[in-house]
Amino acid sequence: MPNGSLEKFIYEKNVETNQKLEWETLYRIAIGIARGLEYLHRGCSTRILHFDIKPHNILLDKDFCPKISDFGLAKICLKKESIISMTGARGTIGYIAPEVVSRNFGEVSHKSDVYSYGMMVLEMVGGRKNIDVAVNRTSEIYFPHWIYNCLEVDDELELKGIEGEEDEESARKMIIVSLWCIQTNPSDRPTISRVVDMLEGSINSLRIPPKPFLSPTRSPPRDSSTTLLS
């Protein structure tokens, strides 16, 4: 995988190659990751839940085709099962679905990977960590809420690199789909198969989802280390 991990190309402060990915490439990568997750969730003889979907674990080949890596926290279950038991939270802070931390939010299932995927795609769009967005260079706001507010009032997204209607449509499609993926209630999130359909379909068929009400209570560690909490 000569291009290394996705995180090298999406965080503005980490881009060492001076190669900012075009929106068409970002869009193709988002679809490719969703298809990879769809294979894990539906294509295998047993369903595989990854539990650590994040840019660091997405590797890119010479054509920027994404491959999901690092299955150290993955769990397998019977293909017909949708709910799994878990003794502790697992994943990386910033991408962990609410129900993985507290069962008060619902049961842990394949929808937990969908949440992590949604957070990752929002970071691909914003070019920064999801809790590290500066507004007017003076204050910080939870990125999903900031981007949701822009969509709600049909405001300019002010995203870098957008050069035409096609780029704008790709960006909006990625945003709307990812906001559906990070809905607090797992039952409100689409399956990863539905995510693929939404990304490949017409933007006119996409509705803006309800605003996610969760926001982080504290900043995550500076590194993106994986955690397994018992």
Mean pLDDT by 10 residues, the chain (230 residues): 91 61 95 97 90 96 96 84 73 90 89 96 81 44 76 68 88 94 94 97 92 55 44
Radius of gyration of the chain (CA): 17
**Which residues lie across from 60 on neighbouring strands?**
66
Structure confidence at residue 201 (pLDDT)? 95
CA distance 23 to 45: 34
- Alpha carbon 203 to its chain centroid, in Å, reads 19
The structural domains of the chain, ordered by start, are: 7-83+91-207 (1.10.510.10)
Structure confidence at residue 141 (pLDDT)? 56
The interaxial angle of helices 192-200 and 165-181, nearest 10 deg, is 160
Where would I find the beta strands (DSSP E) of the chain?
47-49, 58-60, 66-68, 75-77, 90-91, 133-135, 139-141, 227-228
Structure confidence at residue 137 (pLDDT)? 40
Residue 123, H or E segment: helix 111-126
pTM tops 0.95: no
Structure confidence at residue 15 (pLDDT)? 54
**Which residues lie across from 5 on neighbouring strands?**
59
The answer to whether 174 and 125 have CB atoms below 8 angstroms apart is yes
Pairing of strands 47-49, 58-60: unpaired
Known catalytic residues are: 52
